[in-house]
Amino acid sequence: MKELRDRILRDGRNLGNGILKVDSFLNHQIDPALMDACGRTLASRFAHVRATRVLTAEISGIAPALNTARHLGLPLVYARRERPVTMPDQVLLTVAPSHTKRRTAELIVSPEYLSAADRVLIIDDFLATGQTILGLARLAEAAGATVVGIGAVIEKVFEGGRQHLAVLGVPVESLAAIEDMSDGRIVIA
């Protein structure tokens, strides 16, 4: 997706240690037009999987996942980091390491919104090591749902996440693939 690649090269910053700062359009401040374009593209790539729900992680995955869900005409479920009092006592819960937060994060979903009848499309902002996405897949599987696809706005190919996701046996798509971030560079495939 040329518009996204251009924006990463123009506004993205390599902070070292594999951290790509895209806060000006994806992770802190959201560019609605760009996220709409990302959602439309992801929706077109996954139209064939017949998903019934889109699933993402709080908070940075919500913008691209919401736009994808909107273009597919599906509800969006997002895994929360903390259980609010409005959530039932029995929840779907897993943990996943967070690269940018440098700690393990809980991912929590109410079983009211994922069921064995669901076909789940996982959408996230980044595909790096794949650990957050694998955590989301565990939540879907705990509900008895079937994961039918995985999409990411930005993939950091050099972190090997796509290989970790191969065990799920579903299509994996990214809109921009970063091949290298060594020496302060941002090299997009």
pLDDT in tens, 42-93: 999 999 999 999 999 998 999 999 999 999 999 999 999 877 788 888 899 9
Which range is least confidently modeled, 63-67, 94-98, 184-188?
A: 94-98
99 pLDDT above the threshold of 90: no
Residue 84: its pLDDT value, please?
A: 77
The Cα–Cα gap between 182 and 90 comes to 44
The candidate with the shortest Cα–Cα distance to 72, out of 149, 178, 145, is 149
| Res 10 pLDDT > 80 | yes
- Cα angle: 72, vertex 54, 123; to 5 degrees: 100
pLDDT score recorded for residue 101? 66
How is the beta sheet containing 172-180 ordered, strand by strand? 76-79, 53-57, 119-127, 146-156, 172-180, 187-188
- Residues 99-103 have a mean pLDDT of 70
Q: Is 166 exposed, middle or buried (0-12, 13-18, 19+ CB in 10 A)?
A: exposed
For residue 32, the SS3 value is helix
Which residue type does 44 have? S
Max Cα–Cα distance, the chain, nearest Å:
48
Residues 6+ apart with CB under 8 A from 55: 65, 76, 77, 78, 79, 109, 114, 120, 121, 122, 123, 136, 139, 140
Which CATH number covers residue 122? 3.40.50.2020
Residue 82's pLDDT is what? 78
- Could you read off the pLDDT of 120-175 as tens digits, one per residue? 999 999 999 999 999 999 999 999 999 999 999 999 999 999 999 999 999 999 99
The domain in which residue 114 lies consists of: 2-188
Instruction: List, as own/partner pairs, every contact residues 98-104 make where C-beta atoms lie below 8 angstroms and the sequence separation is at least 24, other chains included.
Output: 98/132, 99/18, 99/19, 99/128, 99/129, 100/19
The structural domain count of the chain equals 1
pLDDT in the model for residue 86: 81
